[in-house]
Amino acid sequence: MKRFLSLLCLPPLLAACSLSQVPPESGPAGQPGQPGAGAPSLTGPLVVPPLSALRDTPARTLGGRFQRANWADLPGWSNDDLSQFWTLFVRNCKGLMRPTSGNLAAPARATPRAWQPVCAAAADAAHAPTDAAAVRQFLQAHLQPWRLNGADNRPASNTVTGYYEPLVRGSRRQGGAYQWPLYAVPDDLLTVDLGAVYPDLAGKRVRGKLVGKRVVPYDTRAGIESSSNRPPAIVWIDDPVDNFFLQVQGSGRVLLTDGPDAGTTIRLAYADHNGQPYASIGRWLVAQGELRADQASMQNIRAWAQRNPQRVPEMLNANPAVVFFREEAVVDPELGPKGAYGIPLAPGRSIAVDTGFVPLGAPVYLATTWPASERPLQRLVFAQDTGTAIRGAARADFYWGFGDDAGAQAGRMKQRGQMWVLWPKQAGEPSAR
């Protein structure tokens, strides 16, 4: 999810640090997050192709170092309740068994061929594990923990923040309180893969638009709002701060309040962005002398906007970045939006990572603490999302789920944490494609 937050993952200035910047990798069929022809279905039973059918692509270099560890080295491993974990493990296997495209502009993924025997064993299990002990036994039989170290080969320790899926009120029509648009991807937005032109820039993308024969940066927020050719609005939101923070999170649910869809909740999932750098409206308010740094919370930003409605556009335009969305139905209210891995995020079991150190799809044992406390939060999670602010070894963004309670946890979370990557025993140390 990610993103525009650069160095500003400082609660309470932002409620979270996730904002998916790269859509799920396209399969051969060309649809983000969807399998191509011959790829396993993400919705049906787990079907594992034979190893010979999984073509390989060139290896991607990971920036950290991995040190073989014992299960006893994982703090709190025996206390993690895995009774509901099997379904998530099988769903993650469906993602692992998708073929990789070799596109260096996409986030690095766990090597499918390394995981084929483990996912095949999961698919062939005569009886799916139904209790925590059986799940733990399966994982310990097939996987090897590797501690993630930094470039100095010392255990990596880094910041763990949180993100969530908010709920806002919206209308498909502009009017009354509904004045703050959330846009679909504009037709004139170009994404240029620089690596396709200059191999030394593999993995680098820029966004812009065509003016005459020149590609120029895409419009800023202010430029979009003043244009006579705005992107199509999917919905209009009744609160500018809610609108802003939904863009920061990278996705959210919208309760439609009027028209034929009144009472329906839809999901807006991250689709793209305008390529402009993110700037914090909290920091802008502090620089303007409107708030002190210790007052720059979501609640105080919203209160300031209500007191100063005439200055709200000025505040929002201080951030030139705009996120574009696509509309999705909320099929299962318990599941989150799809992350950069193309798999629905699971509350409390999905994290965003820097794929230069941990590839998407890898199970990760995360050792951190609960938000704003010293109480251990030690849990097996999946690397299923990314973020522009999520940079470095052991840097993570923890997905808390949907709603106000999840938002409260995410907004308070800025802890330290360490990681162990779980990898198939027969495959050596973790690798990426």
The pLDDT value given to residue 126 = 60
Task: Output the pTM of the full model.
Answer: 0.84
The edge-to-edge listing of strands for the beta sheet with 323-329 is: 180-183, 233-237, 167-171, 252-256, 265-273, 323-329
Backbone angles phi, psi at 338, to 5 degrees: -70, 135
Q: Answer whether 207's CB lies under 8 Å from 275's CB.
A: yes
| Assigned token pair, 273 | 């962005």
Nearest alpha-carbon partner for 225 in 255, 191, 187, 182:
182
> Taking the CA atoms of the chain, what radius of gyration do you get in angstroms?
22
**Distance between CA atoms of 156 and 325, rounded to whole angstroms?**
34
Q: 365-393 burial, b if ≥16 CB within 10 A, otherwise e?
A: bbbbbebeeeeebbbbbbbbbbbbbbebb
pLDDT at 8 (0 to 100): 34
Q: To which residue do tokens 């059986």 refer?
A: 134
Q: What is the pLDDT of residue 40?
A: 56
Q: Is the dihedral of CA 165, 169, 174, 180 positive or negative?
A: negative
Which strand (E) or helix (H) includes residue 221? helix 221-226
Q: Give the pLDDT score at 27.
A: 35
Amino acid present at 253: R
Spatial distance between the Cα atoms of 225 and 284, rounded to a whole number of angstroms: 19
pLDDT for 94 equals 95
171, 235 Cβ separation under 8 angstroms: yes
Answer whether 158's CB lies under 8 Å from 396's CB: yes
Query: What pLDDT, on the 0 to 100 scale, is given for residue 37?
Result: 40
How far is 61 from 80, CA to CA, in rounded Å?
Answer: 31
Return d(Cα 106, Cα 355) in angstroms, integer.
10
- The ranges of the chain with pLDDT < 50 are 1-24, 26-38
